[in-house]
């Protein structure tokens, strides 16, 4: 007897189309080294060791008086803030008339394993602030810190309040014990002394492992299925490859900095308890007395809202604003929501104080 | 000259060779001991992943018992599968038992790396090249010197500004 097949012919059609797309992909997409992530024109105005201070060229005739320095995270690179023109954080701020600088932390090598929080806060970040102050003839600048760059900027704002006119904390890593993410769980169980003593800098491979356990099936399967399904959509493919290139390019983190970061933030949670020291200087969050704008993404699975939010309540500033957005860690800075909601709100707040 | 054969190794070029062989053998023995611990944690790691997979798959079977028949059904089955697997695996990665075992696994891997480093150090020193610790010393010294120079430059700049004012 013959059994009747119930398989929808459309399924076969879809499967054949999908297979064809997989085979065609190498002909249709660019290789990672053919994609440039440098979108908005800028000049390198200062170089110290491996770090670079970038100054973006203005896009408006008139600019606000107070320049803005962005301190990007230590994981991955600053390119996500300028990943493509229509989703560029930097370009949006330039179009709103801000004078924008970016601190590129560069790529540390084995030789840099002894760089610590002090070097980043009182060295590289402070030198950049001093340069901008001199260059723009201002006494204070606006400072934005994103993710782990937010931890460094928070320490800076506490130690050098006289140089910071406005502080913007975007998904900052602050209260490690409240962090509910997988990364915080791994960090809490890490023998970081042994890691740094044995291998020196924190290798990018370890970070890639951490990324791979975040929504592994959505990110490891569905994302690529969508990519092959949309292989004919040039805009989609271009955007996808840019993000992939950015995701696959994270520098090592200097050993001593990584050690202090894991211990003081995730394991002992010293920053939010006002017990952290950078060099020999005490970080007191109450000393952050300048206008402060804290941005949090509700769906953040890299830095949970519970980890960032305590900053708003711990600082000494009287002029402080907390904004929460229905998006994720990257969505807050590089999406249509960031262009239509996050940046206009930030721009309005900052313009009133610049 | 001693007639004991082992004493031959204590003189001349064989002395260093014997000492190095002993160090390397000791490291290799310790590597084997650590490998046992490493394998235990690795087995537990894959056991946790496999158990979670099994539980998640059972949940999917309960929620979507029918074999999908058309494109829409495949799409919704895929959505259910991904959501359940992502939730269950995130729960695992977020758990104390995973964190602890993973921490131990990485720690054992680092111990293995340390033994390898020690073996390489023996070889490096046998050919008069600096060991990892000696290079680290140089890096540390360089870092400290850079800091001192930076501070001196800053002080100099302040003095210059003061003089110019």
A2 within some domain: no
Range of the domain at B46: 14-129
Same domain, A46 and A131: yes
Residue A233 has pLDDT above 90, yes or no: no
Same domain, A208 and A339: no
Q: Does A329 qualify as catalytic in the annotation?
A: yes
DSSP sequence for A138-181: -S-EEEEEETHHHHHHHHHHHH-GGGEEEEEEES----TTT--S
Q: What is the average pLDDT across A165-178?
A: 95
Looking at residue B3, its pLDDT comes to 57
Same domain, A268 and A311: yes
> Rounded to whole angstroms, how far apart are CA atoms A44 and A340?
29
A198 within some domain: no
Same domain, A116 and A153: yes
Q: What is the average pLDDT across B95-107?
A: 95
Looking at residue A177, its pLDDT comes to 92
Cβ neighbours, 10 Å, residue A280: 6
Query: Which of A31-40, A103-112, B23-32, B35-44 is predicted with the least confidence, judged by mean pLDDT?
Result: A31-40
Same domain, A172 and A124: yes
Same domain, B118 and B154: no
> Rounded to whole angstroms, how far apart are CA atoms B51 and B57?
10
Same domain, A184 and A236: no
A118 within some domain: yes
Looking at residue A256, its pLDDT comes to 95
Residue A2 has pLDDT above 60, yes or no: no
Residue B10 has pLDDT above 70, yes or no: no
For B135, the closest chain A residue by CA position comes to A111
Same domain, B63 and B144: no
Nearest C-alpha of chain A: how many angstroms from B160? 15
Q: What is the average pLDDT across A262-287?
A: 95
Q: What is the average pLDDT across B43-59?
A: 96
B70 within some domain: yes
Q: What is the average pLDDT across A284-292?
A: 96
Looking at residue A273, its pLDDT comes to 96
Range of the domain at A218: 8-36+204-251
CB neighbour class for A302 (10 Å; exposed up to 12, middle 13-18, buried from 19): buried
Number of domains comprising chain B: 2
- The closest alpha carbon to B44, from B112, B101, B108, belongs to B101
pTM of the model: 0.88
Same domain, B22 and B95: yes
Same domain, B75 and B85: yes
Of A115, A198, A217, the CB nearest to B114: A198
Mean pLDDT of chain A: 91
Same domain, B71 and B135: no
Counting residues of chain A whose pLDDT is more than 70, the rounded percentage is 98
B9 within some domain: no
A125 within some domain: yes
Tokens of B140: 């540390």
Same domain, B95 and B150: no
A219 within some domain: yes
Give me Rg for the CA atoms of chain B.
30
Counting residues of chain B whose pLDDT is more than 70, the rounded percentage is 92
Q: What is the average pLDDT across A239-246?
A: 85
Same domain, B99 and B61: yes
Same domain, A300 and A273: yes
Looking at residue A344, its pLDDT comes to 96
Residues in chain B with CB shorter than 8 Å from the CB of A214 are 90
Same domain, A76 and A93: yes
Residue pLDDT, tens place only, A204-229: 888 888 888 888 888 888 888 888 88
Same domain, A315 and A285: yes
Query: Domain boundary at A235, A251, A267, which?
Result: A251
- Write out the residues of chain B at the interface with chain A, using a CB-CB cutoff of 8 A: 69-71, 74, 78, 81-82, 85-86, 89-90, 93-96, 98-100, 102-103, 106-107, 110-111, 113-114, 117, 136, 139-140, 142-144, 146-147, 150
Same domain, B20 and B100: yes
Same domain, B114 and B139: no
Q: Would you call A6 and B69 a contact, using CB atoms and an 8 Å cutoff?
A: yes
Same domain, A163 and A305: yes
Q: What is the average pLDDT across A12-31?
A: 84
B100 within some domain: yes
Q: What is the average pLDDT across B56-70?
A: 87
Same domain, A135 and A75: yes
Cβ neighbours, 10 Å, residue A182: 25
> Rounded to whole angstroms, how far apart are CA atoms A176 and A188?
9
Same domain, A159 and A294: yes
For B114, the closest chain A residue by CA position comes to A198
Q: Does A179 qualify as catalytic in the annotation?
A: no
- The closest alpha carbon to B125, from B31, B20, B27, belongs to B20
Number of domains comprising chain A: 2
B3 within some domain: no
């Amino acid at each position: 007897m013959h059994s009747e097949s119930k398989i929808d012919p459309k399924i076969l059609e879809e499967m054949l189309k999908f297979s064809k797309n997989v085979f065609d992909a190498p002909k249709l997409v660019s290789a990672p080294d053919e994609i440039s992530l440098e979108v908005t024109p800028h000049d390198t105005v200062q170089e110290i060791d491996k770090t670079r201070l970038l100054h973006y060229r203005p896009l408006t005739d008139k600019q606000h008086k107070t320049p803005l320095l962005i301190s990007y995270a230590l994981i991955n690179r600053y390119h996500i803030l300028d990943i493509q023109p229509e989703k560029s954080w930097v370009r949006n701020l330039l179009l709103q008339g801000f004078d924008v600088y970016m601190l590129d932390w560069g790529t540390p090598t084995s030789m840099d394993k002894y760089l610590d929080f002090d070097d980043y806060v009182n060295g590289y970040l402070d030198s950049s602030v001093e340069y901008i102050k001199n260059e723009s003839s201002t006494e204070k600048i606006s400072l934005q810190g994103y993710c782990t760059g937010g931890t460094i900027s928070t320490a800076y704002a506490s130690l050098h309040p006289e140089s910071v006119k406005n502080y913007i904390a975007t998904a900052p890593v602050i209260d490690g014990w409240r962090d509910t993410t997988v990364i915080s769980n791994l960090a809490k169980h890490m023998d970081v002394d042994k890691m740094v003593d044995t291998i020196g800098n924190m290798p990018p491979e370890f970070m890639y492992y951490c990324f791979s356990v975040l929504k592994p099936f959505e990110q490891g399967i569905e994302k690529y299925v969508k990519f092959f399904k949309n292989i004919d959509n040039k805009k989609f493919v271009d955007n996808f490859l840019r993000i992939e290139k950015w995701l696959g390019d994270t520098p090592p983190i200097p050993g001593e900095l990584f050690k202090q970061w894991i211990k003081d933030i995730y394991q002992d949670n010293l920053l939010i308890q006002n017990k952290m020291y950078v060099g020999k200087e005490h970080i007191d969050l109450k000393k952050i007395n300048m206008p402060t704008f804290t941005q949090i993404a509700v769906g953040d699975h890299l830095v949970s809202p519970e980890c960032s939010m305590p900053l708003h309540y711990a600082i000494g500033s009287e002029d402080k604003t907390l904004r929460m957005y229905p998006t994720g860690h990257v969505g807050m800075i590089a999406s249509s929501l960031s262009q239509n909601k996050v940046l206009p709100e930030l721009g309005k707040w900052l313009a009133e104080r610049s | 000259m001693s007639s004991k054969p082992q004493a031959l190794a204590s003189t001349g070029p064989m002395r260093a060779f014997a000492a190095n062989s002993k160090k390397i053998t000791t490291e290799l023995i310790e590597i084997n001991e650590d490998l046992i611990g490493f394998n235990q944690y690795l087995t537990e790691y894959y056991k946790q992943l496999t158990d979670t997979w099994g539980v998640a798959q059972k949940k999917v079977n309960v929620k979507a018992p029918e074999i999908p028949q058309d494109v829409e059904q495949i799409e919704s089955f895929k959505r259910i599968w991904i959501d359940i697997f992502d939730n269950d695996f995130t729960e695992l990665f977020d758990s104390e038992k995973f964190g602890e075992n993973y921490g131990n696994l990485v720690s054992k891997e680092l111990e293995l790396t340390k033994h390898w480093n020690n073996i390489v150090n023996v070889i490096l020193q046998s050919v008069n090249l600096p060991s990892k610790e000696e290079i680290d010393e140089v890096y540390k010294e360089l870092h400290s010197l850079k800091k001192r120079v930076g501070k001196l430059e800053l002080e100099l700049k302040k003095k210059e500004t003061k003089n110019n004012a």
